[in-house]
Structure 1
Amino acid sequence: MIGADFADFLIPDAAVSVAELTDYIRFLLEQDEQLRQIWVIGEVSSANHHRSGLFFTLQDPDAGAAIKCVVWNSQLPKLMQMPIVGEQIIILGSMRVYPQRGEYQLSVWQALPAGVGLQALRYQQLRNRLEAEGLFAPERKRSLPIHPQIIAVITSPTAAAWGDIQKTLKHRYPGLHILFSPATVQGEQAPESIVNAIQRVERDGRAEVLILSRGGGAVEELACFNDERVVRAVANCSIPVITGIGHQRDESLVDLVADESVHTPTAAAERVVPALVDLYNQHRQRITNLQQVVYGELETAENQLQGLRNLLRRLRLDTQVQQELLALDWKRRRLMQATTSKLLHANQHLEMLRQKLATLDPKAVLERGYAVVRQENGIIVRNAADLEIGQELLVQLGQGEVKVKVIETKE
């Protein structure tokens, strides 16, 4: 028996080496198209930073399965989510076999948050993109009409929100025309249903304002209001849109792009139309304010009129005119006196200047017997030493001129 058993386990000639088996396994894994680029979701159970990269284990706690993963240092800065023990992530990588250890592991290219974290990441990415396009800019916001007569409402026909809105509108502003465009506001079909409801309202063309609403719910139930299709439909709507979605919470993308947003369906209905009671009270208050202003102006005018009457009684108009005429006559006389005085002084000054001028006149000096001696070139002779014997001179007298010739000079 021993010999027979041993013979059954004789090594055949077709046995392969460990290296050959490992190469074959690596070929099967690394050449598989699906394993070359595969997304895997799991929970990080362990992580170890090494000088060449980050080594961690991704496990499925429910199924009891695990796989080893590595992110090389060159790829670490590119990860959108760092693997942290206890957190669930989604990784993108390719399968690799390491012959030295006889192990296989995922070489990770990218890691994303899973579950709620992934939804938050997608929400933030979409929000950043829409904000960069300017869809949330305040200047895009339109004012709601003050007294709309036709209002469109989009919500679920079976939801409490629809009943709340109808009740509020009819109570606050009876006689309104409400256009109801039903839509699914929860689930996978919700985005397309809401977009179609908005398009129906626009095609109708009668509504002056649009209410998009639903009651409160879990974050997952309100996901349709963060759908890009719904956000763009609201942004491109030709009618002013107000949203009343859920209760106190973070804003949805539809809230950010709408012309106005409030936290409940009832609040949306209250914002769209004023209450008739409030309008009546405001009207009465305006009448009261106007009467007070008119009465105040009348009282002021009457006081001013009475003041003028009292002034006229104290000072008759003809007496005031007479006083003004006397004042003008007195000013005229003062002006004539001042003018006459200035003219007399001017004539006296002129005569004095004339006498001085006559005194300085050279002809008057000549009339008194003096003479002016000039050389032939017209230069006045002042020194006998400047003359020469035989030089002709011109002598100007008081009456006429004579020519003379120098026959002798004396010092």
Structure 2
Amino acid sequence: MSSAYGYGSLTRSAAPQQGMSPAGEGSKSPDQLPRLARDTTAENPWPVNILSQKFHDSVARWPEAWVEGQIVEINMRRPTSGYITLRDNFEEISLPVMGFRAFVSKAREFHQGDRVVIHGKPDIWMKATRLSFVADDIRRVGTGDLKVQIDELRKKLKGEGLFDAENKVPLPEFPSCIGLICAPQARAEGDVITNVNLRWPIAQFKIVHAHVQGAQCPSDVINAIQRLDQDPQVDVIIVARGGGSFEDLIGFSDEGVVRAAAACQTPLISAVGHEDDWTLIDLAADMRASTPTDAAKRVVPDVREQWQLIESARMQMHMRVSARVDNEIRLIDGYANRPSLTHPLTMLEPHQRFLDDAKQRMERGLTRIVDDASLTVEKLHASLTALSPQSTLNRGYAVVQGDDGRVVDDARDVRVGDELTLTLKHGVVVSHATAVGDQRQQGKAK
């Protein structure tokens, strides 16, 4: 089984290569080393590889066994090998378990918090002289006690509305002071501070150190949240912790911690564990970050991006103002170049043309009216002329009127001695009738 792990055999580990000495000038061959542990001395010790091989050979004789516990960590991402950390159901004792392809195919359906029984055999990894349990079978016993408790607490707090979206407080866009809760000298503290300073150098920190695992974790985290929440200078709070096992992060699922996070008036970011880890504080926080580094990227903007936004906005503003000014200049130039301004009289030309056309139309209309009237008058004049007695007089005839002014058209109406008025072409003649007779008779008038 040791070859499957890449462990070297005793012969390969102890025998030096030609021309080389594994431990310097005083190295001994395997035949010169003590055979038993009780035979070793300070002057004649075993090399580390000999002791590791002894451990391996001893553990290899141990029998196979079934063990029961709760999964606190599981990694089955690779198809050829997988790892599980199995925790005792009652004691704070854990066991590393590993398995290969057949075991991985069975273990993929299991999750953190499941209670299982695993069959396998102990083994020693010689490169680190580390004991592990090589498994070949896994079976479900029931849901783990811790997971059940946390799930029941989750349902209870959710029913109270502690996880409702309307209770979430939006993060400030440009925080000036960040409250940070983390373990003293923790890597999470350095990750948050370094990344925030890279993105937003003017941000300041108020750091409260607290236990992030163990029995003191809940009370320390609660006090830290309340302390920073009461500080008026703090704009946002980050609760940060690096990755760990399920049992290491259990303090952040404590009911008091969750209630303190939900009651916090200052925006709070949960950055506990890695992306695959989860705790109840993640549900109560205003934002959940996958890692402390992710929290740093979410809590502040990137100063370079902000400068780019400002530069882009400035350029757009300049372009719009320039375009507006250019457009106004074009309008002014257009107005200035219009014929109505360069030649104002052209504005009157359409009206003048209208008046001239109207005058011509009026003259033509009046001329037609006058011509028609003249023609009518001429026709009437010709008719009157034709019917007028004057035309008869003009032909040498005369109009005879009696003394009563009536026209005499019958000689029988005239008596001798009657005064007659004769109207000629030119002038009037007054005479007296001397004789009256038929038209065939001839008479004379004086």
* TM-score for both structures, normalised by structure 1: 0.49
Q: Which has the larger radius of gyration?
A: 2
* TM-score for both structures, normalised by structure 2: 0.45
